[in-house]
Amino acid sequence: MRYFAEIAYLGSNYHGWQVQPNAKTVQGDLDFVLSKLLRTEINTIGSGRTDTGVHCAQQYAQFDIDEDLNGKNFLHRANSFLNNDIAIKSLWEVKKDAHARFDAVKRSYRYDIVLEKSPFKQGLIWQYFRQPDFDKLQEAAKVLLEFEDFTAFSKMHADVNTHICDIMSSSWTKEGNNLSFHITANRFLRGMIRIIVGNMMEVGMGRMSIDYMRETLALKDRKRAAKYLAPGQGLFLSEVIYPEDTFIREIYD
């Protein structure tokens, strides 16, 4: 049987989602706990790969096991063993050929910025002590909708076959001294949103023109864009959407 575990995590103490040698990762901790509980080696596949320090409100982790977990108190036991930075929110039986990464049709991220010192949001937000022009930020967000190739806004040596992304929405919201950037697309490239936010903040501060940002995207010039990289702690993977027929039933304790 194939399962999707819906998880959330605080990324501050992790070197991102994906398992890597000699580093603490969300996937590594999750695989360890699932393997212990299910008494077999579990290697999950995530719906996305977040970078070091990036947080997640909704991620799906796929795993297979020949056991019906309904009524087995699985969620309670798993959450008891996982440290407080990771939570399994729900568990679903899915179609046998469902794929957590490749079947997702939409992914949404949010990037949070506060324009003042905020002791209660350390590690959860980018504290930026200058006032950007909000109208310019909004204009820069709209520029992204003009493009499909985001080579300029990706890190070097990314293991991908294409830099084409279908951005469906891109906008900023403001409430008091709190700014949030919201973006939804079918897929994202490594480091893409942090580079996007860094470049938009340059526009908002008047240090970069809209035309320069548009030209950078058209030229696919990583060197011009990648030096403006927003820190990881303000970024959240907020939602992952699949076709409705992906899910068969929710598993209960």
> How does residue 157 score in pLDDT terms, banded at 50, 70 and 90?
low
> How does residue 164 score in pLDDT terms, banded at 50, 70 and 90?
very high
Asked whether the beta carbons of 3 and 69 are under 8 A apart, the reply is yes
- What is the pTM (predicted TM-score) of this model? 0.94
How far apart (Å, rounded) are the C-alpha atoms in residues 5 and 82? 13
Task: Taking residues 8-14, report their average pLDDT.
Answer: 96
> How does residue 124 score in pLDDT terms, banded at 50, 70 and 90?
very high
Output the DSSP codes for 134-165.
Answer: HHHHHHHHHHGGG-SB-GGGS-TT---S--B-
Instruction: Spell out a b/e string for 21-32, using b for 16 or more CB atoms within 10 Å of the CB, else e.
Output: eeeebbbbbbbe
State the pairing for strand pair 55-64/106-114: unpaired
Tokens of 216: 């950078």
Reduced DSSP (H G I as helix, E B as strand, rest coil) percent helix, strand, coil of the chain, to 5: 30, 30, 45
User: Among candidates 232, 235, 212, which has minimal Cα distance to 136?
Assistant: 212
Task: Taking residues 36-63, report their average pLDDT.
Answer: 96
Is the pLDDT at 158 greater than 90? The verdict is no
Asked whether the beta carbons of 124 and 112 are under 8 A apart, the reply is yes
Is the pLDDT at 117 greater than 80? The verdict is yes
User: Among candidates 109, 105, 106, 102, which has minimal Cα distance to 45?
Assistant: 102
pLDDT of residue 57: 96
pLDDT of residue 161: 83
Output the DSSP codes for 17-54.
Answer: SS--TTS--HHHHHHHHHHHHHTS----EES----TT-
pLDDT of residue 160: 77
pLDDT of residue 208: 97
Tokens of 134: 């909000």
Is the pLDDT at 159 greater than 90? The verdict is no
pLDDT of residue 155: 84
The residues that are catalytic are 51
- φ/ψ of 185, rounded to 5, equals -155, 170
How many residues would you count in the chain?
A: 253
> How does residue 60 score in pLDDT terms, banded at 50, 70 and 90?
very high
Is the pLDDT at 212 greater than 80? The verdict is yes
Is the pLDDT at 105 greater than 80? The verdict is yes
Bigger pLDDT: 100 vs 120: 100
Task: Taking residues 214-218, report their average pLDDT.
Answer: 96
> How does residue 220 score in pLDDT terms, banded at 50, 70 and 90?
very high
64-84 confidence digits (pLDDT tens): 999 999 999 999 999 999 999
Mean pLDDT of the chain: 95
Rounded to 10°, the helix 26-38/74-81 angle is 130
Neighbours of 60 (CB within 10 A): 25
